[in-house]
Structure 1
Amino acid sequence: MIFHPTRRGVLTGGAALTAMLAAPAIVRAQSWPSRPITIICGFSAGGTTDALARLLAGSLSERLGQPVLVENRTGAAGAIGMTAVANAAPDGNTLLFSAVGQLTVVPHVSTNLTIDPRAAFEHISLLAEGDFLLNASAGSGFESFEDLVSAATDNPGAVLYGTSGAGGNLHLFTEAAFQAAGINLRGIHYAGGSALMPDLLNNQVQVSLNSYPISAPYIEEGQLKPLLVVGRERNASYPDVPLGADLGYDTLSSCVDWFGLHAPAGTPREIVDELAAGVKEASQEQALKDRIEQGSLRNVASTPEEFAERINSDYELFGEIASAAGMSAS
């Protein structure tokens, strides 16, 4: 006898098949975490990215009931650690704690990256973000950003800027400021901030983009003059220093140092949501709030959708800036 399935039977069978196919992911999500979780940080211990990752790990460990360990896999401006996580199993046990340059600058300036960070991860949540100061050496005589623009316009090639390394986010954000102002300065790229700072203070290079914690003691001593905030908000300690947007340079509002958490693409949504809730909870804990404030950062815990949108927007903008600055690897 030939069996003729009814419409109800087809629907019931289809639903059962769908449930069977989805079952492994559901089981994984429900049993997770069953072992220690590793957060990979692509930068050295002791820096801001590492410090935030470790505070977040402690909070997530309490929430999830499993050890959450931080492993530093350094090199290639964070690309080595980032690639390792992208190639890990999407089971919620290997995560990436990132800084902005890894996902949105490195892809445009490196010829060795084998992944597209936009698609290689489930972007869980932002945690913090912060702005930068474009500082001038006291010996330069610049008292304002307009002074810098005038000097660069009147004496092409005479004004130098320094960075802590070629191809990073500080390099790109500095070029963004100069592109917005319509000036072209020659860059000197050092092997780290400790090599840059003596030459900046001695006016061997006239300007440099620096974080607030790095800038503050030299500004207080009169050795550096802050000219411009590159980022989103004025700083209460320097209320007279204009934002890029105040001068009509709206693109500089996107040139922000941010930090966030990611999982390999394909990680079950239930795990992503639990981790996002954990980041939000951690962001309200006093130890993490204190560290964020200490770094002149802002608390910006987000949804996965908000984080993915931010990454895609920054990726496109920073690619345009890199191309215009001659930084692009393509």
Structure 2
Amino acid sequence: MKKAVVLLLIVLCMLGTLSAAGKTETNLDSWPSEPVTVICPWAVGGVADIVNRKAATYGMEVLGQPILATNELGAGGNVALTNYLKNQPNSYNLIFGGEGAFSIAPNVDGADAIQFTYADYEPIINLYSSIFVLTSDAKLNIKDLDALKAYAQGKKLKVAVNGVAGSEAFLAKALAKDLGITLELVSYNGANLALDAASKGETAFAISHQSQARGSVEAGILNPVVVFDEKGVNNDVFKNVKGVGEYGYTAYFRNRCFILARKGTDQKVIDKVRNAYLAILAKPEMVDFYASMMIEVDPMDKASMDKHVSSVAAIVKANQ
């Protein structure tokens, strides 16, 4: 009798295990059955935040569930990326990240405080590509690196940046080293806030996205000095602004914004999210929106995102 009871329990346990496995598979097939939250670890009103909120409006159409755009600030994005590790694979929470957190922060002063690595996440898609621009107080009449270098002699220049260990901070430090000048970084929780500081006169310089500097440049408050790319830009706002690469410097890269899931997330979930955002990015209204934001559609795959992280890390190590 006891043997029969034990055998029955074993069979029931096996059935339960199979049922649980089937339930997991069913859940993944129907993922998402709840709203999906996409966390932007930078300031409200910044490029990443604006793109996040715009893309989220298509959630029901492409995923069958709402996409909820939210923000969590601190340490240039590192607080949110650390807190995100509390999520389990296949979570309904996703997060933004990029080279600032994964290529720069681990390779500069303060790296021992970083509690995450790129390997803790599953990269799904790159949301956009953007070129950073250095702007200066228009009253200084600095419009290129030669004028910047001449002005900076014997001075310590205050530059507003997004975080002390992010993309903009590294680019500022590397440029200062190349020019042989001294900078003091003033940190804000978003490139838009850094740009606002320069526009208000709190600092004489700022590094931001082009779209963030647009209004101040058009109003004659700030002048573009240089863009952090191999070649320059020439558009209605930033006219014939040279790239640092044209001066012979190598510390430049385009800013990317990855959508990330927790490590171990099933490929079915990753594919669903990637395909949903590919559909969003292909919409004509999104193409027009990106053009107005002066950013590019650049839906890199995992291999390309991995390469970007390693390439920027190599640039950081070579320019310290």
TM-score (norm 2): 0.79
**Is 1:158 paired with 2:155?**
yes
CA pair 144-38 structure 1, distance change in 2 beyond 3 A: closer
Q: CA deviation at 1:213?
A: 2.5
CA distance in 2, matches of 1:141, 1:44: 30
Other structure's SS at 1:89 match: coil
**CA deviation profile, 1:216-251 (whole Å, cap 9, x unmatched):** 333334343322111355242334211112222233
Distance in 2 (CA, whole Å) between partners of 1:185 and 1:170 is 16
Provide the alpha-carbon RMSD of the alignment: 3.0
Q: After TM superposition, give the deviation of residue 285 of structure 1 in Å.
A: 1.7
Given that 2:32 and 2:65 are in contact with CA atoms closer than 8 Å, whether structure 1 keeps it comes out as yes
Structure 2 counterparts to residues 102-251 of structure 1, below 5 A: 102-107=101-106, 108=108, 109=110, 111-116=112-117, 118-152=118-152, 155=153, 157-158=154-155, 160-164=157-161, 165-179=163-177, 181-189=178-186, 191=188, 192-193=193-194, 194-199=196-201, 205=204, 207-231=205-229, 234-237=233-236, 238-251=238-251
Aligned length: 293
Q: Does 1:69 align with 2:68?
A: yes
Unaligned runs of 5+ in 1: 1-19, 325-330
Indicate if the aligned counterparts of 2:81 and 2:116 stay in contact, CA closer than 8 A. no
| 8 Å contact from structure 1 (residues 28, 91) kept in 2 | no
Distance 1:34 1:211 in 2: 36
CA distance in 2, matches of 1:245, 1:43: 28
1:52 aligns with 2:51: yes
Taking a change above 3 Å as real, the CA distance of residues 135 and 195 of structure 1, as seen in their structure-2 partners, is: closer
Shift of 1:149: 2.5
Say which of 292, 314, 317 aligns to 2:315. 317
Q: What is the distance in 1 between the residues matched to 2:283 and 2:222?
A: 34
CA contact (8 A) 2:199 2:221 kept: no
Contact 2:228–2:244 (8 Å) recurs in 1: yes
Report the CA distance shift for 1:47/1:28 in structure 2 as closer, same or farther (over 3 A).
same
- Quick one: distance in 2 between partners of 1:71 and 1:141? 39
Mapped partners of 2:175, 2:234: distance in 1: 18
What are the Cα deviations for residues 65-109 of structure 1, in whole angstroms up to 9, with x where unaligned?
A: 122222322222222221233331111422112354333334444
Q: Distance in 2 between matches of 1:186 and 1:119?
A: 33
Judged with a 3 Å threshold, the aligned counterparts in structure 2 of structure 1 residues 309 and 221 are, in CA distance, closer, same or farther, namely: same
Q: Which moved more, 1:236-245 or 1:23-32?
A: 23-32
Does the 8 A contact of 1:228 with 1:242 survive in 2? Answer: yes
Aligned equivalent of 2:90: 91
- Secondary structure of the 2:296 match is strand
Change (3 A) 1:250 1:168: closer
Q: Percent identity?
A: 21
> C-alpha distance in 1, partners of 2:90/2:27?
7
Is contact 1:106–1:168 with CA below 8 Å preserved after alignment?
yes
Given residue 215 of structure 1, which amino acid in structure 2 is its aligned partner?
Answer: A
Point out where structure 2 has 5 or more consecutive residues left out of the alignment.
1-18
Q: What SS is found at the alignment partner of 2:208?
A: strand
The answer on whether the counterparts of 1:60 and 1:279 sit within 8 Å (CA) in structure 2 is no
Q: Please report how far the alpha carbon of residue 121 of structure 1 lies from its aligned counterpart in structure 2 after TM superposition.
A: 0.6
